[in-house]
Amino acid sequence: MNGARTLAGWLTDPPEDAGLVAGAERTRLALRALELGLPTARDEAWRYSRLEGLAEEELMLAGEGPAPTAPQLTALTPEGVRVDRVVVVNGRLMPELCEIGPLPAGVGFGSLRAMARAAQGGLKEAADLLERLDSLCRPDQRMFSALNTALAGDATGLWVPDGVRLERPLLVISLVLPGADALLTQPRLLVVIGRESQASVMEAHGGFGPTPYFCNAVSEFQLGAGARLEHLRVQRDSPAGRRVSGAFLRVEAGAHVRSHTFTTGGRSVRNEFQLELAGAGARGEVNGLALLSGESVVDNHTHVTHLAPDCESRQTFRSILAERSRSVFTGRILVARDAQRTDAVQSFAGLLLSDTARALARPQLEILADNVKCTHGATVGSLDPDSLFYLRSRGIPKALARRLMIHAFCSDMLGRVRTSEMINPLDRLVTRTLAEQA
Amino acid sequence: MLQIHNLHASVAGKEILKGLTLDVKPGEIHAIMGPNGSGKSTLANVLAGRDGYEVTAGDVLYQGRNLLDREPEERAGDGIFLAFQYPVEIPGVPNLYFLRMALNAQRRHRGKPEIPAEDFLRLVSEKLKLVHLEDGLQKRAVNEGFSGGEKKRNEIFQMLILEPRLALLDETDSGLDIDALKIVAEGVNAMRSPDFSAVVVTHYQRLLDYIVPDQVHVLAGGRIVKTGGRELALELEKCGYGWLTQEVTA
């Protein structure tokens, strides 16, 4: 049994069984994470995330957790629909809670550690998947990626070979259930979708209880040519939870990815999105909806890179901010010299429900090609009093009219989701969150 | 039905209504005419309970009860309907969803159960025919992408669904061609009954060819300066408001 230590303490002397890579590589990444260090208040890109005091905080390295309650598990599971799911509690896979039905031939879904054993046993697909670990999340430049690879207990892997269409969505439920001690958890997801294949993957992250925790999530997605992926991510953190969440997506020629992140709660949630449109005609959509109240902060950073011609990117972010919550959106689009006929759109809208809520949008465009269409827009406002009066004048009580308008503000975000099984659970989440905040 | 006595109201500190008195009995339709800035829309908004309109003196009784301390939604639940001069577009809220929510909220207010979905849809298709609106529009967001005439007809459609006791029509005729004007009038006439009253605020007497009022009032300088039958509207059409406002200032 380990006692609590600081992040540096864990990195200096990692426990034997931690980490997704072994031996010298693990040691190298731990040292690299130490070298890079946590961002400080002087770090411009991090000045809005609330990571103060994290370096000094004594954390338990996630390990065995209590069994989650049924509501914690089912909150985000579509009702009456078969989905294959992996359940991770405090960073540890819970085999007894996983439900993975028969999958098409060649598809692998489950524990990355189990896959590593399979790879040693000679399973080529497992070896191929493991080879892609860390190939997008830049552990040599990004401290949180190095930290995750060096110390994560396990990860979830998905391998879809070429030409396979998965009919059912795959669900990864990742819960943080701290006991008395503050906790460090590091969910990790590695997804490889083969050429002309199709899948829908949902990550459901939840943190519960009054104990502080720091959750450092890393998800990597590679889409082969012509592949289709919808990635859904729901993050429901407790007011004591801090989260840094990275989604790294690389899309080859003609492939399409749609990634949606729904953030509710949390003391501080940092969402980083890295989208690389690497082959001609690739399309990527990155959407983020945050519903916040109290003192919550969401800090969304996107980094969309157009590397090839004729690619399309869409970024749509919405934040609904009650009480003293805050939202920051920093959206970066980089169009490489060869990425002619790029079509990139970025939009942020903030809805302030109180005088003390704040929203900030910072578009950053860097365009090196000459034939591109690149637009961005940001609006911040409060509920329109004329609309509110219109609804009330028809007999709809004020609180309900407000909820209706707030729901309307985010309805187009739900409307972008294509995985039909997930639309109702997401709508319920939004409705419930709004009701709780009312 | 509606008794207004010596009503004074201000908007942003400026007094607009300066002692307005009006008595609308059940079953009656009253037209309020008057020049721009005379306070016609202010009256409609004060009665519907819009924020920003401050009543500084006087009182308003609706069905024998003080109206002014009621919230807008309570007034609606009690049977008051305002047809907006400028209907609001509300993106993301489907028209029918909104209307069913409104109807059910009003029914709850009156202690009645919610309307079954089938009955509601039957009601909708019946009333849509009256106002000549396409079904498709109702699936869109409230007033979003509606033409000016469609918005006004949508107001009348909502009125027909919600079946108010007192309708306030705030320049519903403005910007309408003659066909749309007739449709609006037919909608109001379809509501006529001994229990239904309406206050029709209009700039032109044209609408009153189709909605025949029991009384016509001329509002000028925040007060009713003249009351008469429908012939007064015709007189105004001929002579304009000038001679009346001169009477007031004299």
DSSP-derived secondary structure for B169-215:
EESTTTT--HHHHHHHHHHHHHH-STT-EEEEE-S-SGGGGTS--SE
Instruction: Provide the CATH topology of domain B2-249.
Output: Rossmann fold (3.40.50)
Last residue of a domain, one of A342, A366, A384: A384
Domain boundary assignment for chain B: 2-249
Residues linked to residue B20 through DSSP beta bridges, in sequence order = B7
Q: Cβ contact (<8 Å) for A391 and B162?
A: no
Confidence band for A1, pLDDT divided at 50, 70 and 90:
very low
Are A185 and A53 part of one and the same domain?
yes
Residue A256 lies in a domain: yes
Residue A2 lies in a domain: no
Are A369 and A310 part of one and the same domain?
yes
B136-151 confidence digits (pLDDT tens): 888 899 999 998 989 9
Are A115 and A31 part of one and the same domain?
yes
Q: Cβ contact (<8 Å) for A394 and B51?
A: no
Are A391 and A300 part of one and the same domain?
no
Are A259 and A215 part of one and the same domain?
yes
Q: Cβ contact (<8 Å) for A390 and B99?
A: no
Closest CB from B71, B141, B158 relative to A394? B158
Please check whether residue A301 is in contact with residue A273, taking contact to mean a CB–CB distance below 8 angstroms: yes
Count of domains for chain A? 2
Residue A173 lies in a domain: yes
A244-290 confidence digits (pLDDT tens): 999 999 999 999 999 999 999 999 999 999 999 999 999 999 999 99
Q: Cβ contact (<8 Å) for A398 and B71?
A: yes
Task: State residue A193's pLDDT score.
Answer: 98
CA B41 to chain centre: 10
CA B109 to chain centre: 21
Q: Assign B122 to helix, strand or coil.
A: helix
Average pLDDT over residues A371-378: 94
Q: Cβ contact (<8 Å) for A394 and B90?
A: no
B 210-249 residues inside an 8 A Cβ radius of A: none
Residue length, chain A? 438
Q: Cβ contact (<8 Å) for A409 and B106?
A: no
Residues of B in contact with A396 (CB under 8 A): 73, 98, 101-102, 105
Min Cα–Cα distance to chain B from A410, Å: 8
Last residue of a domain, one of A384, A401, A422: A384
A286-297 confidence digits (pLDDT tens): 999 999 999 999
A143-174 confidence digits (pLDDT tens): 999 999 999 989 999 999 999 999 999 999 99
Strand duo B90-94 + B141-142: pairing: antiparallel
Q: Cβ contact (<8 Å) for B73 and A404?
A: no
Task: State residue B36's pLDDT score.
Answer: 81
Please check whether residue B43 is in contact with residue B58, taking contact to mean a CB–CB distance below 8 angstroms: no
Confidence band for A421, pLDDT divided at 50, 70 and 90:
confident
Are A390 and A377 part of one and the same domain?
no
Residue A157 lies in a domain: yes
CA nearest to B52 within chain A: A385
Q: What residues of A are in the B interface, CB distance below 8 Å?
A: 384-387, 389-398, 400-401, 404-405, 407-409, 411-412
A5-38 confidence digits (pLDDT tens): 999 999 999 998 889 998 899 999 999 999 999 9
Are A374 and A415 part of one and the same domain?
no
Min Cα–Cα distance to chain B from A176, Å: 34
A347-362 confidence digits (pLDDT tens): 999 999 999 999 999 9
Task: State residue B244's pLDDT score.
Answer: 62
Average pLDDT, chain A: 93
Contacts of A101 (CB under 8 A, 6+ apart): A82, A84, A168
Are A292 and A398 part of one and the same domain?
no
Residue A114 lies in a domain: yes
Q: Which region among A39-43, A76-80, A214-218, B138-142 has the lowest average model confidence (pLDDT)?
A: A76-80
Residue A142 lies in a domain: yes
Q: Cβ contact (<8 Å) for A392 and B71?
A: yes
Are A390 and A292 part of one and the same domain?
no
More confidently predicted of A358 and A180: A358
Task: State residue B243's pLDDT score.
Answer: 61
Residues of B in contact with A351 (CB under 8 A): none
Task: State residue B247's pLDDT score.
Answer: 56
Are A231 and A313 part of one and the same domain?
yes
Residue A1 lies in a domain: no
Are A349 and A361 part of one and the same domain?
yes
Are A319 and A429 part of one and the same domain?
no
Last residue of a domain, one of A384, A403, A422: A384
Task: State residue B138's pLDDT score.
Answer: 82
For A237-305, give the DSSP string: E-TTEEEEEEEEEEE-TT-EEEEEEEEEE-SEEEEEEEEEE-STT-EEEEEEEEEE-TT-EEEEEEEEE
Contacts of B134 (CB under 8 A, 6+ apart): B128
Task: State residue A318's pLDDT score.
Answer: 97
Q: Which domain holds residue A84?
A: 7-384
Task: State residue B38's pLDDT score.
Answer: 87
Average pLDDT over residues B201-215: 89
Closest CB from B91, B101, B141 relative to A396? B101
Residue A371 lies in a domain: yes
Confidence band for B205, pLDDT divided at 50, 70 and 90:
confident
Residue with tokens 């969402």: A271
